[in-house]
Structure 1
Amino acid sequence: MPMQAVRPKILGFISEQASAWLVALVVLLTGSALTVIVAWTAADLYQQQVRQRFQLLVNERYTRIQERFEDQEQRLGSLQRFFVNSGDVSRAEFDGFAQPLLLHARAYAWAPRIFREQRSLFEQEISRQRGVPFNIRELNAAGVLASASERDEYVPVLYSQTQSLLGSPLGFDLLAQPLRRSALERAQQSGKLAVSQPMQLVGVEPAYAAGVLLVAPVSKVAGTKPYGFVMAVISMRQLVADGLPRPSRDNLVMQIVDTSDTRQRVLYASSNAVGNSDLTAARRLTLGDHVYALSLRASEVFDKANHSSMHTILAMGVLLSVLLSALLYVLVSQRQRALKLVEQRTVQLRSREQELRGAHGQLRSVLNAATQVAIIATDLRGVVNTFNAGAEQMLGFKAEEVLGHLTLESLHMAAELEARAVTLSLALGKRIPPSQAMLVESPDSQHEAREWTLVREDGSQLTVNMLATVLLDDYGLWVGHLAIYLDVTQQKRAYEALAARDRLLKKLSIHVPGGIFQFTLEPPDNWRFIYASEGMRDIYEIELGVLQQDAGKVLERIHPLDVERVRASIRLSALQLSHWREEYRVQLPQRGLRWIRGEATPEELPGGGTLWHGYVSDISDLKRVEEELRALSITDSLTGIYNRRYFQDRLKGEMLRLNRISGALSLIMLDVDHFKRINDQHGHAVGDAVLQELCRRIGQRLRRTDVFCRLGGEEFAVLCPNTDGTQAYSLATQLWQSLRDTSMEPVGIVTASFGVASWRIDEGIDGLLLRADSAVYVAKQAGRDRVKAEPLRA
């Protein structure tokens, strides 16, 4: 049956041939529809929950306010009963009873009824009791408490217990103000509690001034007119707002209106903002003989705390639908591609199966074709079951003589196996039989090939490298061993030849003066000696191991004045691949300062960097000879002063300096007078002694910067850098005088003719020499034994 006939449908109802885009679209539409339904249901449930929360908050707020109104009535009632049952109440008794009642009320007060004829006597008696003047007062036109005008009756505040910081308005006549009078009259007529209209309270802080007056009549006998009134001064802000959440956290906006007030004035209103919700509620509150309307609305805080999650549900639902549709699109498209790939792979596997059948035979042929490598496989007992053509050629056995008859142990040298077995037993801590010695690895080995000796059919021995491994079947079970042998006889001979050559090279390097090295410079700045002969230890007094680990040790030995030049020459040689040759000084711990000459030929490394092959040698003796030869080349052999060659070189250098930075330069030339006569009369040996003494005397009086030279015969010159003509003339005079002061044995006084010339701007060497020589000539013409300056300019 073809594969397409049994394929299951996607999701149980979509055909396999359906497009992946169609599947994704169906899932997206279904998910979006479900999201809308869930969002609508959640929105309806949300509205119900919000209304329930709002009603709970309203009921709790209404209950709390109503309880406070009732609590005020009960507290004032208890104060009323206190006066009824106590008869005459003193101020201390009033304070003691009223003090605990001050909760949510600004003040409690007692005001007796006083008639016109009782006023004077009443004021005098109260003044006497209090110790301060007391009179009945009322608010005048300016809003200030003043003495009350004459009336038939007064109800002044006599006792007061208040929370206000402004104190109690004692003596204030409650009948002087219409709203208070109205409340008192209603309380007197009904004999019950009465509440005033909204008013501004007296003696209360401005923030708490808006409120009402709750009044209760006090009668000695029920049904008779009261002889006074007890009152509760109630601030609506304190009564309603105390204990409620702060406006920034209140869920309700509240407003209280007195229904009996014709102007419908607001007794209390919350300061927080009204929310966008249409949730409202109204309740009725009663206090005394008044009914108040309590209206409640949801605030912005309530709206924020109860925001709808419908938009979030819609967004998340649509996003989830998109992700699910994308996932199904990927899965369906991958499934379709996978099915096509399976069909293709099935066809390919069938063709590969045919190829593998042929490959098995080819593998056998390959094993036999490997004639340079012996491949031998054994079973778990060690009996050989594979023996390729390379093994036949290497060992001389025929495959049919070995397979099933010989073991791997029989092909190895017995003494070698026993020695190896003892070593492995000690290393592993258990006995290893000789038959397994070639198959077991030591703990420190890394599955590397090991050298063994095999016994050929003719009894001869063969050195091989052997690599052994275990053979596993398809289930990972151990079924035998595989050994691969490589004949290393020729390789071993080559290694021995190389070792002999290395020994010869080492012996030669020991007897060659200096040191032979291989040096590399690799990026970024890695200096390294990869080879250094024994001579390098003597050159730098550094051990070879240290030298190969850190090439910087050599640079530390180089003289500080030469090290940068050596570094630069090495880098230049690496850059240009030019022959490196350098002479430099080294400072050694034992032999001190030495001169070294190094030469090396560079070549570029394949991976970047440069390799030098070269040698270094100690040329300190050669340098010493060179210095001696140089000194001889610039020194007069007779007198020991500088010769004409050095004079000419030094004069050229000074002229270059003057042309570059300007300055002063003078030249003193002298010629010994009648020197030929001294040679003729006393001999050349005396003449040589005279010249030597003359040089000694003049040299003692010269400065360190002056250059004293013998130009030839009896002619001499003194080069004076940074010296003008006047200074040079003075110096020449001193030199002339030093010759005349003391005689020379056996010739007596020896004199000389001196000529002085100083350098002029833009003048060459020849001009300066000519003027100095002319001055000497003038001195000789003038009679010798004198000093003459250069001729003046025309």
Structure 2
Amino acid sequence: MPLQAVRPKILGFISEQVSAWLMALVVFLAGSTLTIIIAWATSDLYQQQERQRFQLLVNERFTRLQERFEDQEQRLASLQRFFVNSSDVSRDEFDGFAQPLLLRSRAYVWAPRVLRDQRVQFEQEVSRQRALPFRIRELNSLGELAPAVERDEYVPILYSQTHSLLGSPLGFDLLAQPLRRSTLQRAQASGKLAVSQPMQLVGVEPAYATGVLLVAPVVSLGGTEPYGFVMAVISMRQLMADGLPKPDRDNLVTQIVDTSDQQKRLLYESSNALANSDLVATRRLTLGDHVYALTLRPSLVFEKGSGFSLVSILAMGGLFSLLLSVLLYMLVSQRQRALKLVEQRTAQLRLREQELRGAHGQLRSVLNAATQVAIIATDLHGVINTFNAGAEQMLGFKAEHVIGRLTLESLHVAAELDARATSLSVALGRRIPPSQAMLVESPDNPQEAREWTLVREDGSQLTVNMLGTVLLDEHGLWVGHLAIYLDITEQKRAYEALAVRDRLLKKLSAHVPGGIFQFTVEPQDNWRFIYASDGMRDIYEIDTGVLQRDAKQVLERIHPLDVERVRASIRLSALQLSHWREEYRVQLPQRGLRWIRGEATPEELPGGGTLWHGYVSDISDLKRVEEELRALSITDALTGIHNRRYFQDRLKAEMVRLNRTSGALSVIMLDIDHFKRINDQYGHAVGDGVLQELCKRISQRLRRSDVFCRLGGEEFMVLCPNTDSTQAYSLAMALWQSLRSAPMESVGTVTASFGVASWRIDEGVDGLLLRADSAVYVAKQAGRDRVETVARERAPAGPRSGPD
């Protein structure tokens, strides 16, 4: 009876086919019911999580915007102190001080007070200094700048530092318009910072024209009345949106209204779409003497990022139940399918057997056709059972005189086998007989082709490269060995001649300071060092072999601020066939930042491209004095580490490098826990000592390439170039442990809250710092004295201390 005729019954009356359908239906109904219950419970949980997520985003956005407002006040206050402490400020001095302050501000302005009887003399003096006509001006009825009418007093713009493409309206009288006049009067009356009502800024691109003036009076030492005003021209669009997520990635819709504006005009409104949600949050921001209402609502990006859909849960649960039902049906009904599969596999095995016999004949033909390579196979005892035509030609033996008579050991020089067997026995810790020395792989370099000396039939010797491997049968059992030999006698002679030339060249280049090179740029923009002396390895800390394969690795060592200039000078030298000479910086893994001087002479290659002959040398000692002077301006006076200005410059430089090349970048932010309590309890002198001891401990744990800076107060930042999130988190844990591992004198154990963030593609400076600041905020909220990362980069939680 054939197998297909057997149809077993379930419970004596239900057929196998019907039982499969019944079981699948029961499983599908049970899974659907469970899916409905889970979807109902998940919906309630999701709504609560969505509210918590919105509040976290609101707090982060409010903190960031309040810091920006405070930063603008601090920058203008520093410019005010500059004028107060200087008896006379020239245009160059103003530009040199104000230019670094231009961050999210359209312009900084100095406007002196000029009385009616001083106007003519003032205009003549400024015209003489500028070598250009200068007049005090105001806007006429057509909106154009025209000479100002007679008034008792003027406040004209004299100095201006701006990034605006439209320039600055020098000479514009700020008392000519009511809004500006009101702001100046409030600043003069209070002696403090004053902010204007929302206005259209003059001399600013239309897209950034809506903004405010932040005004500070300048009073001479010992005086009572201001003799002028310094102002920050602030575009609300630039202040609010610069560095925040792009509209298509922003989770929040932001609106700002000046509470003192009776018309309640929108001073700023983000351009992203509003989500259909009842979530809303309102905060109060202060700038100068004004209070602004900040309203935050979820955007469509926030709504899409929620990722919850009741329909999707029901659909996935139903689909899973259906798939499980189908699987059970297939498992129950697979018996007949298995029998058919056995028949198919049997037919396939018979076909493979026929193909294997044909392949064996083809392999024999291939072995005999390989006349330039010796292919020799042996059994487990080393007796030769395959000796191809290439082996006959190379060694002079006939196959019939070798097969079954000679061993592989008899073809090798006995002294080489003994030496190799001794070294392998020491490396492997067991005795290796000489007869197997050529077949045992080295533990350091498995599958390596090794050089041997063979003995021909006439007694002469032949140098070959040998690659040996084991032979396995169809069951995976070890049945013998296979050895492949390649004659390298002539190749070895050529290598020896080249080695003599290379040794001579290395001796000559060893006495030359720096590195000597031959460098080519081919038509396909392929950069390659044809020759690089050992000095090149010392200059760039890159092996000369790597340089000869890919010269562009040198560009990765060059400082990001210099690499484009070096590229351009190389292209110009190739275009004009002119002498190349450049000084630039390199960032080395071991020696850090070094200054390099390079010179080379180009020549055009016949097939296209350019060849340079030249040298490079280290001139870091010549640059050290200049760097030491520069360090005075970028160092924190109390702790001796870098200050906020240097951190911002380095972070921008690293961002430029990442956008042009690739790599990783991480930042670690830390804030001392309860530092105000230390100052209040022990005094500021002890607090300063705590800051110095913390910097000492942290600095000892950092690499040469890391940048450790004090942002202000008890807040510090570590910039970690070429460091991914895992490495940065490990470093932060080490810094955290080094700080709390030993108490400090007088105050005991001092702890800090750490936040870690790593750069993401298309992310700006503010985005990276916002995530680091958010991680510190999370650490503070979680009890302080810990290391935290943002949600998508969070590493496994480290040790946690109890609440402070």
Normalised TM-score (structure 1) = 0.38
Who wins on radius of gyration, i.e. which is larger? 1
